[in-house]
Amino acid sequence: MGILNEFQIQQAIKLLQAQEVIILPTDTIYGLSATVSLENEQKINALKASVPDKPLIVLVSNLNQAAEFIDLDSNVMQHLNTLEPTTVISKKLNGERTWAVRLIKRADLVQIINVVGPIFSTSVNRSGQKYLTTEAELSNFLKPDHCFFIGELKNQPSKILNLLDNSKKR
């Protein structure tokens, strides 16, 4: 699996800090990413032609960041720390909102998230369609200078574990 070079990492950081939506490689597939905010969630959902408030996965680089979104007990930490990319759906004890959180393993994304903070990530596609994998598809979806391509990623999306109802899916 390829990795972003230092120039690409710095470019991604600048774009994310400017509240831009970009395409980044993840542990699994390419993701539409932006820093976590209501405005960016709506921008991403508009690009995907989804409902404006559809929940997105939040990528974090450490458990302290995860604790900003969901309560961490031993069960949650065990699932976040697995080798298989796993997204955990849960919420804060007194929180209104449910969050889907994944602890990222890629060193390049860890470096980016350590600077900009947690980021949204969701598959690059129109809602209900297959996710995109080729450089041409990704560059056509978003401005080419906002697409950080490192080669085709043909992995499965992360396993999603809903701890609110104890269900699993891909």
Q: For residue 166, is pLDDT > 70?
A: no
Q: What is the pLDDT of residues 48-91, one digit of tens each?
A: 999 988 889 999 999 999 999 999 999 899 999 988 899 999 98
- Evaluate whether 109 touches 28 at the Cβ level (below 8 Å): no
Give me the numbers of helices (H) and strands (E) for the chain, helices first please.
6, 8
This prediction's pTM: 0.92
Task: Please give the residue that has the higher pLDDT: either 162 or 114.
Answer: 114
Nearest to 102 by CA among 111, 110, 94: 110
- Evaluate whether 127 touches 24 at the Cβ level (below 8 Å): no
Q: All domains of the chain, ordered by start, with CATH?
A: 6-169 (3.90.870.10)
Structure tokens at 144: 């080419």
* Spatial distance between the Cα atoms of 21 and 32, rounded to a whole number of angstroms: 7
Reported confidence tier of residue 153, pLDDT bands at 50, 70, 90: confident
